[in-house]
Amino acid sequence: MADNAIRVGLLGATAHLRAIAERLSALFPVERIDVDASSTTKHAGSALSALADRSDVIVSAIEGDRLAREVLTAQVARTSSCVIVDVSAIAPQTLVGIAAAARLSVYGAALGRRPTGETIATVLYIDPSAMTLAPVASVARALADDIVCVPGIKAKALGIVEGLLAGVNGAIVSEAVMLAETAGIHRSDIVRLIHKGSGATAMMDMQERLLAEPSAADALDHASSLRDGLSSALNAAQALEHPLLFASVAIATLRMPVRHVRGGSESIIHEPQPFERASPR
């Protein structure tokens, strides 16, 4: 239900905010400020300050632990009851540090995706204490199709693991489908058959659905989200000195330029999408 009394601020990287803005702007007055790795600490702080003055709830989706820490702990005046729901893919321990240092209340959350029949639902893992605040609860319900209440650091951990699973599964599905195609099985056949088999994954079904009716924007978003999920997991794991061997290989395979031959013409794709990897010669 629309609640025009709740003012929502969006803060973060352009790519991550696009889907969030689409969902929220239909229901709330939304002001959006993009910050990315090129932003300086000073600019990030002033961006947060300006947004906090005019918002009841800020949803932040910032790329990278360092920038998230810089932006969310910036020196802003505690002028209002504005709270931050942070859905950035950052490590749980980074959230703990941010929550302790931030002038505004920061609640940990993470966005996930859940296949439901023919559609893909958005899931919000969010700290239950945040949901006791009426404005946050309204924004959360608008942001996701399903809400899972878990403590903030667990929400971050679940977001990291989900991104990691999607990334590694997406990478191997891409390799497997291209291998099958090269060996003589049509993509739609291998997807249909594997769906019945023990190798079935949600990513194979999702990628097939996304690319069956190719929308360049969807494909780019999907490829980008796979790489982001892996990057975030690698960052979180590094902080814990927990090596992620498969994620390291998977992200490399997703970034690998490939030779692409179609209709007799050959080209090199430097940002391949899933299923374009290792295209048949």
Partner 1 sequence: MSATTTVGVIGLGSMGRPMARNLANAGHRVRGFDISERAMASAVADGVSAVPDAASLAAQCELVITMVWDDDALREVLFGATGVTASAPLPQCVVDLSTTSVSVAREAGRLLAERGVAFLDGAIIGGGAPAAKAGTSPIVMAGERATFDRYLSVLARLGTCDYVGAQGLAKVVKIINNLLVGVVTAANAEALSLGVAMGLELRELVELMGQSCGSSRVLQSYMGRFVEEGRYGDGLIGHRLMAKDLRLAADLAEEVDCPATLPRFAEHMYVAFGRALGAERPFPSAYEYFRQVNGGSTDGSRGAIAPESCKHEEARQ
Structure-block tokens of residue 192: 């249909």
Residue appearing with tokens 């820490």 = 69
Consecutive H or E run containing 225: helix 216-239
- C-alpha count within 13 angstroms, C-beta hemisphere, residue 178: 21
Consecutive H or E run containing 9: strand 8-12
Rounded least distance, CB 22 to partner 1, Å: 19
Of 102-161, which residues contact partner 1 (CB under 8 A)?
A: 112-115, 120, 123, 148, 150, 153-154, 156-158, 160-161
Task: Name the residue nearer to partner 1 (CB basis): 83 or 166.
Answer: 166
Rounded least distance, CB 196 to partner 1, Å: 4
| Residues forming a β-bridge with 9 | 31, 58
Of 163-222, which residues contact partner 1 (CB under 8 A)?
A: 163-166, 168-169, 171-173, 175-176, 178-180, 182-185, 189-190, 193-194, 196-204, 206
**Calpha distance 171→23 (Å, rounded):** 28
Rounded least distance, CB 218 to partner 1, Å: 14
Is 47 near partner 1 (CB under 8 A)? no
Is 237 near partner 1 (CB under 8 A)? yes
Task: Name the residue nearer to partner 1 (CB basis): 2 or 252.
Answer: 252
**Calpha distance 35→162 (Å, rounded):** 24
Crossing angle for the helix pair 92-101 and 216-239, nearest 10 degrees?
80
Is 242 near partner 1 (CB under 8 A)? yes
Whether the Cβ atoms of residue 107 and residue 53 lie closer than 8 Å to each other: no
**Calpha distance 113→146 (Å, rounded):** 10
Rounded least distance, CB 210 to partner 1, Å: 11
Residue appearing with tokens 């399903």 = 146
Interacting residues with partner 1 (CB under 8 A): 91-92, 112-115, 120, 123, 148, 150, 153-154, 156-158, 160-166, 168-169, 171-173, 175-176, 178-180, 182-185, 189-190, 193-194, 196-204, 206, 233, 236-237, 240, 242-247, 249-250, 252-253, 256, 258, 277-278, 280-281
